[in-house]
Amino acid sequence: MAIETPAPVAAPAYWHTLGVDEALNKLQSDPEQGITSKEVAVRIERYGTNELTEKAGRSPLQIFIDQFTNIMLLMLMAVAVVSAVLDIQAKEFPKDAVAISSIVVLNGILGYMQEMNAEKALAALKRLSSPKVRVIRNGEILEISGKELVPGDIMLLEAGVQVAADGRLLEEQNLQVRESALTGEAEAVNKEAHLILEADASLGDRLNCVYQGTEVVQGRAKVLVTKTGMQTELGKIASLIQDVETEDTPLQQRMSQLGNVLVTGSLILVAIVVGIGLLNKGNFGDLLKTSLSMAVAVVPEGLPAVVTVTLALGTQRMVRRNALIRRLPAVETLGSVTTICSDKTGTLTQNKMVVQGIRTGQHSLQVSGDGYVPTGEFTILGNPPEDSHLTVNNIPEVQQLLMACVFCNDSILQQKDGEWIIIGDPTEGALLVLASKGGCDFSEWQHRMPRVFEVPFSSERKRMSVLVQGEHGGNVLFCKGSPELTLECCTHIQIGDQIHAIADFQRQHVLAQNNELASRGLRVLGFAYRTLPELPAGGITEKDESNLVWVGLVGMLDAPRPEVREAVKRCREAGIRPVMITGDHQLTAKAIAEDLGIAFKGDQVITGKELELMSQSELEQQVNQVSVYARVSPEHKLRIVQALQKQHNFVAMTGDGVNDAPALKQADIGIAMGITGTDVSKEASDMILLDDNFATIVAATEEGRVVYTNIRRFIKYILGSNIGEVITIAIAPILNFSVPLIPLQILWMNLVTDGLPALALAVEPAEPNVMKRPPVDPRENIFARGMGSYMVRIGIVLAIITISLMVWAHGYTTTHFDNVYSANRWETMVFTTLCIAQMGHAIAIRSNTQLTIELNPMTNPYVWGSVIMTTVLQLVLIYVEPFRIFFGTYLITSTELAVCFGFSALMFVWIELEKLAIRWWLWQRQS
Ligand code: ATP
């Protein structure tokens, strides 16, 4: 059919008032062929891409202003004001005030840029996971990105997809759509293509149309795209569009609490110093200067930037390992996971099914062949000599079963670039391959017996039925699904070409066959059918699915992913318990779980049915012992997560279906499947597995632990230094010395000499034992596990070293030099010692237990790079005149510099000795 470019569609077009043909006509489209690629290009030009302009959230100005609401920055601003007043009174240029203000503004700009970048990065990550759409173009089914849709496209919908554009239904099977995004109505609505509605029908009543942003809960449909981009109903509601969430991570929240603690602590300290000073009749001006320096010293100005960069780098490393983070807190909390609940099919297994066995009432067949290549042999097992004439072509039950495989199927088997591939569900694809091996001509069959109705597969019903028009009048209903459930719908069984009422022993025989296949780890499907003389009016009902004739079973191999065994082992070593939650049969689940090391011989398996009989408290009692749940439905997953959480587990849970969304939301880390996952499950998740692989969850957990360890490491590093600075400044007036550091020098230390090595520490690679120790409690205090005492201890050591140097340098300079210059000289030595001592700290803090000589410097060359760079910069401040003048330092001699280095080295020595002491203590405890 030649398709011409349609006239632009008048807006608003009441598509719900038009019949199917009229709508197709208006958009010059064809339900079987769609539109041509040429036409797509023309329409993209005319209507634009199918994209929504982003939500106008906080304005950039608001984001900028918000940067200055941080309590630590507010304190710095106060310091700047006081210091400016003091300098102006003394008729000096307010250098410190200018420097502090610049730092505050710079911090604001950096914070602003980071926040904008973080939002962009998260939005980009979300786009990466943006939905794909199946369309018909040029008569072919294609998968395209949602933004390439144009009016006139024929879009195919199935359960789990998020509708990517507004459209008029052309045909539908049991279509149910949740439109809460538009109407606020949580209940899914049934849609019907054949309706033609009044123009004034409200959005919620337009049952023959679907709208962008809504979710297909059940069924499938063919839809004519009518509106795209900002023309859609969703586009009109600006506030609902592409909401980019910017949640603070638990650490970021704790950081702001930390800010409060630091500011309060420093104010108390200032009060004490000023109080003691005044009691000792000290000079108020000097005391004020001391207080200002202490206030600047206590604020870890560089810390927020380092935290943000670390989290951003963490998400990047995770993406490289195929884990796409959707919500930032997950980066950090992943390290705390204690239990990973995983689906089986596709996550633990390869999701590449190959049928290996067929069982009918009287025959057992073995099928050979690899992958999706449709060639293989059928061997009839235990074939008595008198049956040697039997082939797959003359066993009626097998022929009937192959027919069911073809008709009860929505997948496509294709050869692409010489390789056989499946479009659709691999389970169904494997059935097409089987039918092909048996010599079936699908298209000829499907042509002779067209499909009339369908109830698609769902994880709740665990079966699928189709109704096709029979060749000689009448209709045939084919059903396939979980063997036990399908068998329950059967009253008859086919033996040869005869149909008999099914006897109890035959039911037992079928169940035994099922168990035999399942215990080999095979995924088993049962097949049944019946004829229906009358076409049911509105579609297939449960009644139509009763009184079925049992045909047989198919067992297919879905091999475990080879890398999962190792990943499970690593999980166990890391104190993480893997749990399998599957819709599959308990014996199949058990066989695979045992093979992968998730469960062991004799372990209990709980089935969905058993779960239903259990109260929540009974489940809570057992949940810590059970590693396999089989034949479960999505709603059971929610109960399992809740029970695990009640037992203080921190749960990561995978899911792919629409109905997995509540469990994904409930889990501490909800994980959706990138390949097989529905849009709805992705939307509910914190993280997406781009390769659907269990091993990726373990890799992401490892990255999460590395991020958390590094964050703790640089917080220790930065705050230890701040404590050292504050003590040094506080002690100076008590020793009757002037304030050794001016605010500008303190800012330099906090931002540059602490900031640069801290950034380098943020990329420290995983320690060898990172997956050999138990997970940390996500609720643990940031100072837990010795971190608080370490910071105080190191702060005191740093202060003792600096104060010792200060006492020596003060004595030395005042006795050897003219008083006017001596102050600057010893102060510069104090400043230098504090900075260089931190370099030793940075080198030593790379590991808590390993000595620096035991660490390979090349595993984190940035630390050494930043230490060398910072040392050089520090020397520039002393030996390059303009910097010397600006920072108020003094040109100290090389001997004096060597003394500073000597004192600084003590810091490094101390930390290394601490490590040796810890080792000795551990060794003592062990022996
Ligand atoms: P997991 O939950 O680990 O992904 P699963 O894929 O086996 O496991 P479901 O998809 O809920 O879980 O399938 C449950 C059962 O339904 C399967 O064991 C199988 O017997 C049956 N089944 C699976 N796919 C189909 C299908 N396309 N048509 C009919 N029945 C199916």
CA dihedral over 256, 262, 265, 271, signed as positive or negative: negative
The angle at the Cα of 55, spanning 49 to 57, to the nearest 5 degrees, equals 160
583 lines ligand 1 (CB under 6 A): yes
- For atom 16 of ligand 1, the residue with the nearest CA is 462
558 lines ligand 1 (CB under 6 A): no
Q: Which of 409, 427, 488 to mutate to test the pocket of ligand 1 (most atoms within 8 A of CB)?
A: 427
CA 592 from chain centre, in angstroms, equals 26
Output the pLDDT for position 213: 82
Contact 402, 438 (CB under 8 A): yes
Contact 247, 217 (CB under 8 A): no
Going from N- to C-terminal start, the domains of the chain cover 15-52+128-227, 255-305+701-926, 334-347+562-697, 352-559
Cα-based distances in Å from 695 to 311, 342, 410, 654, 673: 22, 11, 30, 12, 13
The H or E element spanning position 222 is strand 215-227
Cα-based distances in Å from 266 to 274, 536, 889: 12, 80, 26
Distance from Cα 631 to the centre of ligand 1, integer Å: 9
637 lines ligand 1 (CB under 6 A): no
The H or E element spanning position 687 is strand 687-689
From 839, 838, 809, 805, select the one nearest 823 (Cα to Cα): 809
Structure tokens at 408: 């009860």
E-strand stretches of 449-544: 451-455, 463-469, 475-481, 490-495, 498-501, 523-532
Contact 259, 237 (CB under 8 A): no
Catalytic residue among 96, 153, 166, 343, which?
343
- For atom 1 of ligand 1, the residue with the nearest CA is 582
**CA–CA gap between residue 557 and residue 355 (Å, rounded):** 6
Q: Which of 349, 480, 488, 525 to mutate to test the pocket of ligand 1 (most atoms within 8 A of CB)?
A: 525
Structure tokens at 249: 């991570």
Question: Which numbered atom of ligand 1 lies nearest the CA of 425?
Answer: 27
Contact 163, 11 (CB under 8 A): no
CA dihedral over 154, 156, 162, 163, signed as positive or negative: positive
438 lines ligand 1 (CB under 6 A): no
Distance from Cα 610 to the centre of ligand 1, integer Å: 19
* Cis-peptide, bond into residue 12, ω within 30° of zero: yes
CA 167 from chain centre, in angstroms, equals 31
Cα-based distances in Å from 241 to 54, 157, 188, 841: 6, 21, 21, 48
Architecture of the structural domain at 255-305+701-926 = Up-down Bundle (1.20)
344 lines ligand 1 (CB under 6 A): yes
Cα Rg, the chain, nearest whole Å: 35
Candidates 2.70.150.10, 1.10.3720.10, 3.60.10.10, 3.40.50.720; correct CATH number of 15-52+128-227? Answer: 2.70.150.10
603 part of the active site: no
Q: Which residue type, as a one-letter code, is found at position 528?
A: A
Contacts 24+ apart (CB under 8 A), 231-239: 231/11, 231/47, 231/166, 232/52, 232/165, 232/166, 233/166, 233/182, 233/203, 234/52, 234/181, 234/182, 235/52, 237/182, 238/55, 238/56, 239/55
**CA–CA gap between residue 589 and residue 592 (Å, rounded):** 5
Q: What is the DSSP letter of 751?
A: I
From 569, 703, 576, select the one nearest 652 (Cα to Cα): 576
Residues of the chain with pLDDT under 70: 1-13, 53-58, 114-115, 117-131, 181, 184, 186, 237-250, 252, 383-390, 818-823
Cα-based distances in Å from 248 to 255, 308, 314, 463, 709: 10, 10, 15, 43, 18
463 lines ligand 1 (CB under 6 A): yes
Output the pLDDT for position 8: 45
For the chain, how far is it from start to end, CA to CA, in angstroms? 86
Distance from Cα 462 to the centre of ligand 1, integer Å: 6
Q: What is the DSSP letter of 582?
A: -
Q: Do domains 15-52+128-227 and 334-347+562-697 have the same CATH topology?
A: no
Contact 687, 669 (CB under 8 A): yes
Output the pLDDT for position 293: 81
- For atom 17 of ligand 1, the residue with the nearest CA is 584
**CA–CA gap between residue 517 and residue 514 (Å, rounded):** 5
Query: Taking the complete model, does pTM exceed 0.85, yes or no?
Result: no
636 lines ligand 1 (CB under 6 A): no
**CA–CA gap between residue 751 and residue 758 (Å, rounded):** 10
Q: What is the pLDDT of residues 280-305, one digit of tens each?
A: 777 777 777 778 788 888 878 777 77
431 lines ligand 1 (CB under 6 A): no
Architecture of the structural domain at 352-559 = 3-Layer(aba) Sandwich (3.40)
631 lines ligand 1 (CB under 6 A): no
Cα-based distances in Å from 680 to 131, 213, 459, 655, 893: 10, 10, 15, 10, 69
The angle at the Cα of 76, spanning 70 to 80, to the nearest 5 degrees, equals 140
From 700, 710, 760, select the one nearest 317 (Cα to Cα): 700
C-beta atoms surrounding 772 within 10 Å: 11
- Tokens 């095979």 belong to residue: 522
From 574, 581, 561, select the one nearest 692 (Cα to Cα): 561
Task: Provide φ and ψ at 632, rounded to 5°.
Answer: -95, 160
**CA–CA gap between residue 208 and residue 16 (Å, rounded):** 6
* CATH 3.40.50.1000 assigned to 334-347+562-697: yes
- For atom 4 of ligand 1, the residue with the nearest CA is 345
Contact 500, 481 (CB under 8 A): no
From 619, 610, 659, select the one nearest 642 (Cα to Cα): 619
Question: Which numbered atom of ligand 1 lies nearest the CA of 483?
Answer: 20
Structure tokens at 286: 């000097």
456 lines ligand 1 (CB under 6 A): no
The H or E element spanning position 181 is helix 180-183
